[in-house]
Structure formats: structure tokens, C-alpha cells
Structure 1
């Protein structure tokens, strides 16, 4: 089993960036949810989830991202996704989540 971890940092625009490394699925989505929740509770309401180090994304992970977006918006914030991985972009397109999330492909 591939090791999974979540890194957090701040980008040049002052947004909190959450970077999941490895497979994001039922077994690991809780770590992502908790990292995002900690940032939101600390007042970081403009977030980016950088999926460039994510090797797999399942439906539970998608649900986690949708829930995190809702929580950020409830706090008058935002949650965007950064993604350059074709496989993951295809998942977002097939599920129509590319219409729900702002996808930062050019950053």
C-alpha cells in the first residue's frame, strides 16, 4: 500500500494550499477532511486543494471535496482545485465537478 500524507502551505495569493500525496480514497479521505477542517477553524477560508501529487481519486474523496467546498462557502470563503493530471481532470469532467469547482490548471 502506498503511503499517504497531506501537506499544507500558503501560496503567493495568501490562500491556504492543501496537498494530498498518494491515493485519495475511502481509507485516506479522512486525513484530507481533517486538514481542511483545521484550516477553516483557524480562519483560513480561501483554500486550494492541489491534486498534482494525488495518484488516485475515488467517489468518497470527491464527496469530501464537495463537503469541504460547502463548508468554505458557508464561511464566505472558497475552495478551488489545482490539477494538471489528465486522469484526475477526466474524473472531474465525467462527474461534472469541473462545473462545480474552480479548476486551476494554469498555476
Structure 2
């Protein structure tokens, strides 16, 4: 199980453009946590996380996103979840996190 993370700052529109690929679970969550916190330290702006190529997410992965969202909310910033596959979207819906994150697509 692995995860690939690609990110770039869209300074024109003022947000982090992040794409996740693979599986986000207990074995890959720390990698994402370090990456997202590093981005937030670099620049506190909204994060748009594209999940088009994310095949799986578990509660550990959700916890990482919640932790980063709390940090961003202090500065009135958001995390947008873009294009989740149906099985990933279902996890957000079941947990009620679709009400906390901005889920689009």
C-alpha cells in the first residue's frame, strides 16, 4: 500500500493544489500528515485535495485531514475535497465529514 502526493501552490488563486494517488491508510497517513503540515507552515491558504486517483481511505487518513483542517480553520481557511471515487465519498458521508469538508465533484 502506498500513496503519492503531488502539490503546488496556485499563487494566482491563493490555494494549495494537492493530488493524492493510491491508498490513504494507517501505513501512509504519516507521510500525508507531514506533507500537509509542511505546506500549512509554508503558506496558510485553502487546500484543494483532488482524490480522483485515491482508491481507499480509512479513519487514520480522515484523522490527518481533520487535524490539518483544524490548523487552517484558525486562519479561516478550508479544505476542499475534489472528485472522490464513490467508495471514498461514502466514507465522508457515513462519518458526516461531508458536512465539515467542502466535498465537490
Q: TM-score surpassing 0.5? A: yes
Q: What residue in structure 1 maps to residue 13 of structure 2?
A: 13
What is the CA distance between 1:25 and its match in structure 2?
A: 0.3
Distance 2:78 2:43 in 1: 12
Matches within 5 A, 1:1-107: 2-11=1-10, 13-105=13-105
Give the distance between the partners of 1:30 and 1:88, measured in 2 at CA.
19
Task: Report the 3-state secondary structure (helix = DSSP H, G, I; strand = E; otherwise coil) of the residue aligned with 1:51.
Answer: strand
Instruction: State the 1:59 CA deviation.
Output: 0.6
Structure-1 separation of matches of 2:84 and 2:61: 17
Q: Distance in 1 between matches of 2:42 and 2:66?
A: 20
More strand by share: 2
Unaligned runs of 5+ in 1: none
Q: TM-score, normalised by structure 2?
A: 0.88
**Post-superposition, which runs of at least 4 consecutive aligned residues in structure 1 deviate over 6 A?**
none
TM-score, structure 1 normalization = 0.86
Q: How many aligned positions are there?
A: 104
* 2:6 match: secondary structure: strand
Equivalent residues of 1:5, 1:31 under 8 A apart: no
